[in-house]
Amino acid sequence: MLTEMLVLLGVVPLWEYIPWLSWTRRFDGVDERIARVAKAFDEFLEMVIQEHRVRERRDDELDLVDILLDVQRENASCSPLEDDTIKAIILDMFAAGTDTTFTALEWAIVELIRNPATIKTLQNEVRGAVGSKDEIDEQDLEKMPYLKAVLKESLRLHTPLPLLVPRELTQDTKVLGYDVASGTRVIINAWAISQDPSLWKKPEEFRPERFLETSIDFRGMHFELIPFGAGRRGCPGVTFAMAVDELALAKLVHKFDFGLPNGAKMEELHVSESNGITIHRKGPLLVVVTPHAF
């Protein structure tokens, strides 16, 4: 379901941009596909909510759905939280918090494998900070500036959501000398910004060190790097997404060494990108993973 939804989000029907072709909407099948996926998600989320309502609960096993249902019960008389709202919140976490987070981690691993010196530097940092202990916590992550730089560089070079989320102007605006009317849909090409040679030195290269030399961050204050958008409409899940990616990547490079099958050279690993609302690597990533001997 999630894959089909992301495919549909990446579909750009011609009638959206040429209104007089809207009559073709009846024949392209997009509306039917959207309705089918929406129905499947609604049924799935309804099942999840009902299962949580009837199951036995333990305080140490509460999840997001349990908490939302508690809020619904506590506010039933004054400000009711409808089931449809709960479904929307779950879907936001399930979709926005899954695919883009996975994509960022996937590209980070690809680029690390393609750059042996970089992954060695990262492994030395992580293993030096953590040692041989099993778990990595947030305090450990604070000792890993190179890890954070690697993820920033991965987000810059392979922006998971290259065109971000479309916006609609609420008033007439002038953009770069052009008059843009209220109600116009505006698309920001975050990928092009992150590849602009006037903003980045050798933007085609994967070089995490650039973020050790600058204070540029991705939280919406530096417009050279906006993988999560900017302003009040920036991604609300940026802290969650980066915490997940930092912990996941740190654990992977801490516990394992990486290689390619059949004697392939790391530098030859391709970085071809698929088309869609999110940019994945084209084709599966095949890697030989070996537990590291401490």
Render pLDDT for 185-232 as a digit per residue (tens, 0 to 9): 888 999 999 999 999 999 999 999 999 988 898 887 889 999 999 888
Bigger pLDDT: 234 vs 7: 234
Q: If pLDDT is split at 50, 70 and 90, which confidence band does 10 have?
A: low
CA–CA distance, 68 with 85 (Å, rounded to integer)? 10
> Would you tell me how many other CB atoms lie within 10 Å of the CB of residue 112?
24
What pLDDT does 289 receive?
92
Which residue in 273, 34, 266, 248 sits closest to 150, CA to CA?
Answer: 248
Q: What are phi and psi of 97, to 5 degrees?
A: -90, 0
For 82-140, the pLDDT digits (tens) are 999 999 988 887 777 777 888 899 999 999 999 999 999 999 999 999 988 889 998 99
CA–CA distance, 123 with 130 (Å, rounded to integer)? 10
User: For the chain, what percentages of helix, strand and coil (3-state, to nearest 5) are there?
Assistant: 55, 5, 40
Q: Two tokens at 215? A: 């204070």
Determine the Cα angle at 75 with ends 71 and 79, to 5°: 120
**How high is the mean pLDDT of the chain?**
88
Q: What is the mean pLDDT of residues 62-70?
A: 90
Q: Output DSSP code: residue 160.
A: S
Q: Any binding-site annotation on 235?
A: yes
Q: What does pTM read for this prediction?
A: 0.82
Q: Where in the chain is the domain with CATH 1.10.630.10?
A: 99-291
Domain 99-291 class in CATH: mainly alpha
Q: Two tokens at 55? A: 């199951």
